[in-house]
Chains A and B, each alone.
Chain A
Amino acid sequence: MPRRRMSLFWSVVVACASIYVFLAFVFPYAAMWIAGSENALPVPAALIAIFMALTIVGALIHVSTDDDRLREFLDPVVRLLRGWDRSEGYSTRAVARLAVLTAFPLLVGWVVYGAAAPDTRTPSLLRIQHPTMPGRYENLTNPFADVDEATRAQYIEEGTTLYQVNCRPCHGTKADGAGPMARGLRLKPADFQDAGTIGTVVESYAFWRIKEGGRGLPMAASPWDSAMPAWKDELSDEEIWKIVMAEYAIAGREPRKPESHE
């Protein structure tokens, strides 16, 4: 006897559920292995929500491109809602119907409760790593941009010294964000070797960040999360520019060039 195929409705349910299981429980370990991290790397809840929404949209598209398929999909639902034949007595379907119709309001209640009840988790916040820099920094240029090679090398060396003294504890010797103090911070010090940090901003942006630190950030960048100190009282502008040059050199990154016309 040929095996009966699972009905369309249930295969859709199973498919959606397995995608969820994959995202929530399998992927974090796969990512841990890929990234060589010490702990599982969960997919952020916001992203799971996006992916699951897409999955459900995809499933609905799949079942509704064709009239017959749509009917087949809805069939179990319709049969369930329509009820059972009394003469059959209390069949499994009748029990299932009762269970679903009771469970649904309970589910709604639970979701509402979850949304209203006080919660001890920290809220999800969107933090913008590169907010707009204040206008007065926008047109600053590196005063040492046009020096000759030898002077440049010398400035970078001076900058490197300043970097290793002041920044290394957090940003690390190799500017990879893994300094000895980094482990103690929740919002990790920026990894300058990563393509997404100082490589994507112009030099004057880095200058601003060093001078004004975490406190100088606008609200969208959640300044209260950042341990980055403001250096304007400690270091002179010249020293900061040298550090900027050194920081790019150590990390092996190029600053973004202010693009010009023609």
Chain B
Amino acid sequence: MHRLVAIVCLVCVSLLTASLVLAQEADVSSEQGEAIQETVPGTAPGEGEYRSFLGLDSRVIVWVVAQVHLMFAAFVLGVPMFAVIVEIIGVVSKDDRYDHLAHEFTKLLSAAFSTTAALGGLLAFTLFGLYPRFMGYMSGIFHGSMYVYALLFFAEAFSLYLYYYTWERLRNRKALHISLGVLLNVVGTALMFIANSWLTFMMSPKGVDPATGALISFRDAFANPLWQPINVHRLIANVTFGGFVVGAYAAIRFMNAKTDEQRAHYDWMGYIGNFVAILALIPLPFAGYYLGREIYSVSPVMGNNMMGGAFSWTFIIQAILIGMIFVGANYYLWTGMSRIPGSERYTGYIKYLNVILLLCFAVWLTPHNLPLSSEEQLLMGGQYHPVLKYLGLMSAKNAAVNFIILSTFFSFLLYRRANKSERVPVSEQGRTVKIVVSAVGVLCMALLGAYAYSLLALDPTTLDLAPEKSRYFVLPAVLLIVQIGAIGACAVLTFVNRGIVAQAALFGVTILSVVFILGVYGFVVMTEANPFLRNIAVCQVLLVLSSLVFGSAIDVALFRKAQQVGNIAWGRIPIRSQYTLVLLCVSIVLLMGLMGYIRSGLREDWHVYGVIRDTSQWAFTPTMAYMSKVVALCTVIFLGLVTFVFWLSGLQQKESEPDS
């Protein structure tokens, strides 16, 4: 058996190397590019450009197939990441439950994998069949990386099955098995990065002659400006997506469970799925901000269209969905408190959290631009409400989002400590704890310090600001330094056994700076030194992240080896919470469909933005109603298929039921 493993590993590695070589080779020189241009006659519209079958709308076909394929792909790429992490946790904590869970995740994966591949094939065929000229152009540029992609797909399949089927055999050689899992993730990520370059090329083409579309540099076309932002964004989003789908799976199994044991297992699984998803959800707004900014840089028109133009209301829908996800995730935690003995001590906080979350959402959902009747317009003296308009602006939104993230984190802290009683004082714990806490603290301080320094040293002219505007950089820098001081003080407090006070203080300082000071200061900066607004956003992110990271470090130290009031009664949770998990899953699928639409819709009537125009009859930008219907259709198809596939994978399990 080990020999087999070794051979397959070798194959995978050689495939990887081969693909890297190919990728190098695919760096076509410009003559070759021209040659391709001739064989794929051009960018001028002619006949045979578009086809359709059965009189169906070709765009909707490609749209739905691509979206459902992407949803499956997100699941298949996201789940291995946390399957491996859960497996590692299992090894470290020597708790078998984690190992079973990782195994169960992987089982779902292997069921979903072939569907993903089949959908990918379908997508390729529909694209080539219905959009021959455009795909001719794309394959002219990217055919090199397309072969690599196909080869990597083999590697992905092999490493996935290897990882899954060697689970039992390699039980005693966990290190090897975990490396297989890591290999699976490496291959999967490489696959996604390649595919990403195609679609980001369509939005931000580089390395081609804008007039003729002829290829000049493959490297530039491949690593086009939006490639990295999309890579980052998708990598994180996939984990969130996988987590919520797993959570819903667990919820449905929970509701169908026959025994208390099963209920306990699926309750726990749902909890882990939700936990992973939220963890990945927290950095997602930041990644989105980065992507949005880059879209603005690529084309101000596209950027303006996105935030202020035809797509601005899609972002209100996005805000509603994200709102549902955050509120839902918190609600799930709150209802879950009832199964934790000792939680009565903390449930009193829930109502305040609820109020804070909803106030933040009220701010977050308030559109800058509202549907108005003309009487309202007249009374308000214009398009915007003189007072409420401020809630519609970026600074208010940023403050609200950061507050939401901090509150969600607070819910987690409550949940974690709900059943802890007697703590071991930090001063009596070993040295490692202190070292870890200090190291984390120093890391946070260094990060904050570096940014504070860069703000103070920032030359306003690089932001196209007059030199005297540098005075606006001071306050954020001071807040960063205050935060450094707060972290230091909190570390000391923790070491003298005042950890709870330290956490509260850290939280207080962060909320004050991020929400109340920078949130308001943002409006000043917006009118006085607009380009600097971005740096304010980065400041807020750093303050929040440092508070989350250091707050967690303190928490770990505080409750290490603490006694428990009682064990969590897994499985004793109101059924409402399980419906919440299902709702979370539906929301994230809708959200993904919506964002997929925005990303490709932004190109408007271009296949490749600014290079190849879409001259088909389907080139119009859909209305919101039309878009919602298609996205809803994708969601229904995806959830239907997933349910079916999971049901299939459950058939085999029925026979070996007792072990679950």
Chain A contact residues, CB within 8 Å of chain B: 31, 34-35, 37, 39-47, 50-51, 54-55, 57-58, 61-62, 64-67, 121-133, 135, 138, 177, 186-188, 191, 195-196, 199-202, 205, 220, 225, 254, 256-261
Contact = CB atoms under 8 A, between A and B. Distances in A.
Contact of B379 (A42, A50, A195): A42
B386 A124 contact: no
B379 A40 contact: yes
Contacts of B355: 58
A131 B309 contact: yes
Contacts of A67: 338, 574
Contacts of B347: 65-66
B310 A46 contact: no
Contacts of B388: 31, 43, 47
Contact of B313 (A40, A126, A196): A126
B287 interface: no
A31 B296 contact: no
Those 3 A-B pairs whose CB atoms lie nearest each other, nearest first: A35-B386, A259-B297, A126-B371
Contact of A196 (B293, B299, B384, B576): B384
Contact of B374 (A55, A186, A256): A186
B382 A195 contact: no
Contacts of A196: 368, 384, 389, 393
Contact of A66 (B304, B338, B382): B338
A195 B338 contact: no
A127 B297 contact: no
Contacts of B354: 58, 61-62, 65
B365 A46 contact: no
Given A67-B338, A186-B378, A57 B370 contact: no
Contact of A129 (B365, B383, B385): B383
A50 B334 contact: no
Contacts of A257: 464, 531
Contacts of A130: 304, 308-309
28 contacts: A31-B388, A37-B386, A40-B379, A44-B380, A45-B373, A50-B362, A50-B365, A54-B361, A58-B354, A65-B335, A65-B347, A123-B373, A125-B373, A127-B383, A128-B310, A128-B369, A131-B308, A132-B301, A132-B310, A187-B383, A195-B393, A196-B368, A200-B308, A202-B300, A205-B304, A220-B309, A254-B464, A259-B293
- Interface size classification for chain B: 35 or more
A45 B377 CA distance: 12
B308 A128 contact: yes
A121 B378 CA distance: 13
A47 B369 contact: no
B324 to A, nearest CB: 9
Q: Which of B299, B301, B335, B530 has the most CB of A within 10 A?
A: B301
B258 interface: no
A51 B377 CA distance: 19
B371 A41 contact: no
Nearest to B350: A65
A250 to B, nearest CB: 15
A44 B376 contact: yes
Interface string B502-540: 000000000000000000000000110011000000000
B239 to A, nearest CB: 26
B375 interface: yes
A124 B372 contact: yes
B331 interface: yes
A259 B384 contact: no
Nearest to B463: A257
A196 to B, nearest CB: 7
A259 B300 contact: yes
Contact of A124 (B312, B362, B371, B384): B371
Given A34-B387, A40-B379, A130-B304, 12 more contacts: A31-B386, A37-B386, A61-B354, A126-B370, A126-B371, A129-B308, A131-B308, A133-B304, A187-B383, A202-B300, A256-B300, A259-B300
A10 to B, nearest CB: 17
A150 to B, nearest CB: 18
B530 A54 contact: no
A39 B385 CA distance: 12
A4 to B, nearest CB: 21
Contact of B382 (A51, A188, A259): A188
B381 interface: yes
Nearest to B378: A186
Nearest to B531: A257
Contacts of A127: 369, 372, 383
B366 interface: yes
A183 to B, nearest CB: 10
